[in-house]
Each structure stands twice: as C-alpha cells, then as structure tokens.
Structure 1
Amino acid sequence: MISPALPADLKAALEQLLYGTSRTEAATRAATISKTYRDGGTSAPIVTTTDAIAYAGARMPATYAAVAASLNALTEITPEFSPSTLLDVGAGPGTASFAATQAFESLRTLTLLDANPALRELALTLASDRRRTAAFDYQLGDARKLLASAAPAELVIASYVINELGDAARDQLADSLWRATAGTLLIVEPGTPAGYQRILDARARLIAQGAHVVAPCPHDAACPLQPPDWCHFVQRLPRSRLHQQLKGAELPYEDEKFSYVALSRAAPPTRLSRVLTQPEQTKVAITAKLCTPDGLTMAVAPRRDKAAYARFRRLAWGDAADDGNASD
C-alpha cells in the first residue's frame, strides 16, 4: 500500500520551483486553470512554466492521492501483478507515473504522452532528480494520435483525461487505451455524477471487448446503483502550507472525491465486495453498504457477533471486504 500523500521529495521540488514567485499570483493562476478543467476544458491555458508549477502545486497532491488509492485497490485484489512497462496517457506533470513507481518496484519502462509543452517540461524537471523516474520517455503530442504507434504496456493509466473529450472522442480513446493494454488499464475521473458516468461508459464499452473488472466492482455485470446515487470514493490527504496557500484553504487536509475502474485482460483471482459509503456504527451494530458479486446489499454486523463486529469496525469507504457471516 502506498501513502496518499505526495512524496516528500516531490513536494520539496515543487516548493523550490515556486521559490521567489508571488504566491498570490500563483494561486490566482491555479484557480483559473482548475476552473477550466472543472468546466470540461483542456490544459490549453497552461502556457508558461509558472502556469504549470502553480497548477501542479494546487492539483498534483489530490490527483496523486486519487491515483494512489486506485492503485492500492488494484494491488489488493491482484497482489501478484508486477508490471514492467507503464503507459501514462494525458500525463500532465507526470502525477500518475510518480504514483505508479511508488506502487510497483517492477516498473522499468515509463512512457508518458501529453500535448502540453509546459507540463512536459515540469514533469521532466521533477523526474530528473529521482532515480526511478529520471528515464521518463515523455512524448509530446496529441495523446490519441501517439497511442496509435505506442507499444503495448502492462499497465496503462488515463488519469483525469477523458473529461476533456466529447462523447465520440471518448469512445475512440477508450478503444485505443484498451488496444495499448497488455495487462491492466486504470481510468480515474473526478468523483462527480458526470465523472462516474464517463467511467461507466468506458467500463461497459471495454467489457464488451473482453475486459474484466479488477476494481472497484466485484463483478463484470452492469452497475446496480440507480440515480441519483453514483459510485465514487474519497481519499483524504494532508495539505502542505504551499498547498493551502495555492488553494486559498484553511484546513490542513483535503478530501478528494474520485471515481475509477481498473480493467484487466485476465479475470481477477478473487471477487471481494466493495464498501460504497462510510459504514454506520451504533451501539448495537455496524451497517455497511456493499457492492457484492451478486449485487447491492446492506450488510449488518451485530455487536453480539464479536468476530464480524470487529471485522466491520476496520472497514472504511472504498475498502474491499469479505462480508461473510454478516447478515443482510
């Protein structure tokens, strides 16, 4: 399991790059760029080095945390997965690649694709002083076009990318991502109803092409949730002083909401249920909303059942769970 916190050396490198820059100006630029992303825009407003650093300082910690949580879920279900090749599509400042190298010591070849020169420059700068990322092969250009000639990788990641595209382009990208996947594909999106729908669409499309869900779903069937409910998770991460300044925030932590799906060429060896909301604990029982191989259930562990109650006390939103011996 890897920590959701941005590694100390990356955090220090970002702070060093921003040294001497007006924090107020950087915060203003980061807020403008972040709003563009939330409104469905692209990275086009990120033009200068300062733009890239300001944006990374504000958004990189939360994006890293979401990818780290998704990779933790993946490795929990498939602990034997040890990819040697990574393809990071729409890599931006390299956030997903940095998280993947923390999760997998086995990675040797790291290929990143993105069209933004300022973000590429920042990623290479951040990678240069780190032993395992110094050899980034960061290709500049439209990721969808670069995918056509990319060598298949054992791990492919598309993090906060498909929200920038229209429906037809999303379908084409999903197909291209799957063709480039020799092992497992991870897609991460904002934890909004719209982000969840994008995940659902890609999930259904790729299952039809032979993909198997590793996480978060314990099945390959249609999602059993009904609107207005949607599948998303929350990862809490610490905020550094710089992060607080760039976000204009007072709290020393942030809760990043995200949706994700990990799809594999091979069916996972086990199908564990998934906790869909924070379990509710009372004096008499703990109740957990679970997505199981057989659909949704509200599993209850009464206090009188000491073993089940103790097991459910350890559960948190997003965890994989063996709900045996709990009642429905």
Structure 2
Amino acid sequence: MNNFQQSPNSRQRLSTTPRTPTTPEILHAMDYKPRLYEEISIIMRAFGDSLSGQNRDSIILVEKIVIQQLRGIINEVINVAYKRTGNIVPSQCDFEFLMRGNAANSQRFRKYMRSVNNLKSEKKQGLGINFLNRIVEDSSDEEQEIYDAEKTRRLFRADRISQILNPQKYEEFQKARTWSSNVRNKTDMLRKLVEMLQIPKEIQDHSYCLEILLYLTQETIAKIVDFAILTRLNTDNHTTDLEPISSSITNNMLHLCPEVTQGRGKDGIKAITVQEINEAIRRVQTMTTRRLGTSFRSNDMKIPFLAL
C-alpha cells in the first residue's frame, strides 16, 4: 500500500490562503486592530529597531506579514504530514523538510527545539546530571556546526548597537533581547496566535507544534528586521558618521554587517519604516522568482516563507 496520501481537504486545512504581503488592503486597512502589537514591538527592538520611538504602522504591517506567513507555512506542513502519514498533525521532521533548502536555518531550528526539550527535562528532573549531559552534547555538536551567517550578523549587530547606547538605553535593549529569547508571556502569545491563525484542534493538542509556531513567529520577525535594516543602505535614513571601533575583533567583522557599520552612527537607533519593510519584501520576492537562464525556479509562483 502506498504510504503517501492525498492532500487534506479544505476543512482540514486553514481556510485562508496567503497572499503577497504588500497588497494595498494590508497597508490601508484602517479598521485593523493588532493583537500582537506589544510582543512584536519588543521582538523588533531586540533585533535592532528603535528603542525610543518605533513606527506604529511598521509594527502593524509586520504583524500582518507574520500572520500571512504562518498561515502559509502551516498549510504547507499539513500537506507534507498528511501525504507522509495520513495525519494532519506535523512532526518536527516535517518542519525540517520544509527547511531542507537552508542548512543553517535547519540547524538553528534543531538547536532551538533541543534547548526547549532540555529545559522541559530539567524542570521535571532537576539539574544535576542532565545539565552536565547537555553541556557535553552541545560541545560535541559545535565540532560539526555549520556556519550560520544570519546568526553571526545578528550577534554583531547587537554588539555594535550596544556600543552606541547610553546606560539607560542599553538596559532597555538587553531587557528586550532577554524577553525575546525566553518569551516571558509565552502562554498568552500562543493563545493569540492560535486564535488568529485558526489552527486545527488536533495540532493545538501537541505542545511541540505550538513551540515550533512560536519559533517561526520570532524568526519571521527577525528576518523582516534583518532585511528592512539592510535596505537602509540605499536610502537617506542612515549616517556615515561612525563612532570609533573599540576592538580589533569588531574591526575584523566590519564586512559581515554593512547595514550596521555603514547605517548606524551617532544619530542612534532609527525606527524601521513601512517603506523599508515594503522594499525588503519586494527584494525577497524578486530574488525568489528571478530567472535562471531561460526558466524560472520551481517555486516561482509561491510567496517566499522568511522563516524557512
């Protein structure tokens, strides 16, 4: 008997098909009421958005993009799971299958899930030997680790931003980063996501699926911030009046993150604008659908999923 099943029907899948996130109705829907405004605001600050005056319209636009992206990812992973097992509940390997084209993303995802599982194990059994085993496991993984350019750029950006903040802003920045990495109000945030995405009850009953959903949310926001700040190099929303570099390590890494070394200066941290987000998404879509010789890529008609 064939192990692969037909795709689930429309009732088993999410009812809303994702569309291009820069359509006019997204930008001009005045009656839209954001539900994840505070959470997205903090995560954006953690990855490099303004600490003193964020753009409200930008945060709302990011929420709409995130919801559309997650709906599309859930549809895709339900299809994969159903064809493989006949069950619409995806496993971790189904999500990894969607990330098969990006080894660094897949590695980052596995490390996140391993950390979540270790934390749950430690809460049940206490620290002790489990903590020591985790140290050994993490050190052995580092020997075979794939270079993660995106993670390196984010860490360098955080280091560079930290150097140009006053003590008060630095403390706010560190709090945002800590909140983002631990997600302090995880239960409330997941409840909102489940309601907004209309996730099937079968998936809601599996906690690891919700953990993955939370990871994809943060990763999508991080990618939007990454690309939006990168577009700043082609606009007037940056300065070239840079502070002196404080260490040789930072100086050797200047080429890794030009959007920070060329776009962040004494004027402090600037807010990400709607125009920068729109331009970032346009560039991602253009690169995903660009011609290779005389033909398009196989996924040229799909919206690129940032977290994958």
TM-score computed with the length of structure 2 as normaliser: 0.28
Higher fraction of helix: 2
Q: Which has the higher strand share?
A: 1
